[in-house]
Amino acid sequence: MSDYDAIVVGAGIAGLGVASQLQQAGKRTLLLEMYSRPGGRMQSYDLPGGYRVDTGLHLIEMGDKGYCHQLGTRVGVEFEWASFSTTLDLYQDGEWRDMQSFIRLTEEEKALFIEVMKEVAAMEEGDFRAWDNRSFDQWLDVKGISGSLREVWENMSMIMTTIPDTREQSAGECLYIAREALRKGRAVLIAAYPRGGMGGIIAPLAEAFQKMGGRLELGRRVEMVVFEGRKAVGVKVAREGGNPIAREWRVPSTDLVTAPLVVLALPIWHLDKVLDFDQRHSPLPSWWLKRIEDIRGERTGLLGYIVATRRPLYERTVFMSALRSPRTGLPFQAFAPTAFDPGVAPPGRYLLVTDNVVEPEEVEDKFNRDRLLQAHWEDIKEMYRFEDGEVEFALPYFTAGCDGLARKPGLTGDFKPDVQAPGVEGLFFAGDTYLGRGLAIEGAARSAILCAERILG
Ligand SMILES: Cc1cc2nc3c(=O)[nH]c(=O)nc-3n(C[C@H](O)[C@H](O)[C@H](O)COP(=O)(O)OP(=O)(O)OC[C@H]3O[C@@H](n4cnc5c(N)ncnc54)[C@H](O)[C@@H]3O)c2cc1C
């Protein structure tokens, strides 16, 4: 008899989502997380003085009409949304302006815009598939979109993909994200902020899982998935403490935990830490191992600041974007969490979160990263017109793998790795790097739903 019916590795939104659905379906589920808190890339920290900050710029596409919300509802959690962004503000010629006022369209362009929007709203999965292997740049060309209308689309597709260059963006994914928003009655790229930040999603999910009887173990790093022949039968978990010499030499002592079902809810770039990628020994087929190795470097990076000030630097409940910020020359995004939820800062204090979209290699190089962060800091002082003396605190942050598999041509839709491992029994995957369309958190939530459906039938 196995220790559990299912083991889920990784307590990000996807792992919490799959684990809760399995537990709800009557499977005795163990959820293992290597860090001391659940949430993965979605974290909120309570700072001294009454601030609550997320790890970087985080808004959730679609809010109550999206897959994140649907995932919560499935496991009996009703997320509370603080506010929705009302529009997109763009930065040009030293000013922030509402997207509407930015677009100066001729009558002919207006007609084209309406026609294109209608066409996008009517698109189906087959249409996205046809565009998954082609760039957004190609789609804009085919539709004859140019001038300021093209610039607005370029801003939106940069936010949708976290990729600056339209030639590198998957048209299928951009069109899917736009279609979802249009169909569900929201303007394109209207995003929501959960009350209390990302913790407002993670904490209730973790609580719901445990209330159902699921077991969540924190600070438990999985070292490897254990197979018997071509069947996953459990995992080896690093043992706390252990032999000091083994610790020094990083040869962990492990405990074996068994289950006939293992779900790896971690990004594909962490799979080689828990699965043997040596084709001579791995139970997984060589084509799959090769595919994962080929695409695991396809990530996107961000760096930016969380800034607390004594006066609001931006009061509108909007998402802000610029194709280039003045000094870094990189795509820029920002929003003011306190405009969405004043409860995330003490009275009379305000938060702004900013980022530049960067190649992962650029943030991995610490000298380059520092140079970019300095330039970014000067950029935001210029863009929001503040002085160092007005700042309560400024927290720099960066990530080389922010939101899933890069949404490039040939990497979206069915090109993403499936939620079920091929050629072996009992091994599944969930998270933003696996099957499931949509912006990062939405994609992760959708893959958690797909994964549980595949397991439970
Ligand atoms: C700075 C930043 C800004 C972002 N902004 C947005 C945004 O505005 N909108 C949006 O939609 N998305 C955004 N994202 C992306 C979003 O956070 C992710 O898409 C989402 O959180 C991914 O969830 P996940 O469950 O798939 O993976 P993760 O959250 O990465 O969860 C994986 C978990 O597995 C654990 N783990 C890994 N290896 C092991 C192991 N061996 N043993 C045990 N546990 C392990 C990790 O610790 C982690 O908790 C942002 C991400 C970052 C970093």
Has residue 368 been placed in a domain?
yes
Concatenate the DSSP letters of all residues of 281-332 into one string. Answer: T-SS-HHHHHHHHHHTT---EEEEEEEEESS-S--SSSEEEESS-TTT-S-E
Do 222 and 309 reside in the same domain of the chain? no
State in Å: Cα 216 to ligand 1 middle.
17
Single-letter amino acid code for the residue at 67 = Y
Do 272 and 323 reside in the same domain of the chain? no
State in Å: Cα 310 to ligand 1 middle.
31
Q: Whose CA is nearest to atom 4 of ligand 1?
A: 58
Ligand 1 binding pocket includes 304 (Cβ within 6 Å):
no
State in Å: Cα 264 to ligand 1 middle.
13
Has residue 271 been placed in a domain?
yes
State in Å: Cα 42 to ligand 1 middle.
6
Do 262 and 346 reside in the same domain of the chain? no
Do 168 and 202 reside in the same domain of the chain? no
Do 315 and 394 reside in the same domain of the chain? yes
Distance separating alpha carbons of residues 131 and 175, to the nearest angstrom: 8
Q: Whose CA is nearest to atom 15 of ligand 1?
A: 403
pLDDT tens per residue, range 38-70? 999 999 999 999 999 999 999 998 899 999 999
Nearest by Cα to 404 from 299, 270, 301: 299
Over residues 426-452, mean pLDDT? 96
Q: So what's the ipTM on this one?
A: 0.99
Q: Which residues of 64-91 are buried (b: 16+ CB within 10 A; e: fewer)?
A: bbbbbbbbbebbebebebbbbbeebbbb
Has residue 64 been placed in a domain?
no
Ligand 1 binding pocket includes 353 (Cβ within 6 Å):
no
What's the CATH number where 384 sits?
3.90.660.50
For the CA of 273, the nearest atom of ligand 1: 41
Has residue 279 been placed in a domain?
yes
pLDDT of residue 151: 82
State in Å: Cα 296 to ligand 1 middle.
15
For the CA of 220, the nearest atom of ligand 1: 43
Beta strands in 165-207 (DSSP E): 191-194
What's the CATH number where 135 sits?
1.10.405
What length is written for the chain? 457
pLDDT tens per residue, range 215-241? 999 999 999 999 999 999 999 999 876
What's the mean per-residue pLDDT of the chain? 93
- Stated as kind and residue range, the H or E segment containing 47 is strand 44-47
CB 438 within 8 Å of CB 432: no
Band of residue 86 on the pLDDT scale cut at 50, 70, 90: confident
Total domains in the chain come to: 3
Distance separating alpha carbons of residues 18 and 170, to the nearest angstrom: 27
**Whole domain around residue 118: which residue ranges?**
99-189
Do 312 and 243 reside in the same domain of the chain? no
pLDDT tens per residue, range 350-379? 999 999 999 889 999 999 999 999 999 999
Distance separating alpha carbons of residues 65 and 73, to the nearest angstrom: 11
State in Å: Cα 172 to ligand 1 middle.
23
pLDDT of residue 132: 97
Do 209 and 285 reside in the same domain of the chain? yes
Over residues 174-194, mean pLDDT? 86
State yes or no: pLDDT of 242 exceeds 70.
Answer: no
Ligand 1 binding pocket includes 29 (Cβ within 6 Å):
no
Do 215 and 266 reside in the same domain of the chain? yes
Over residues 156-165, mean pLDDT? 87
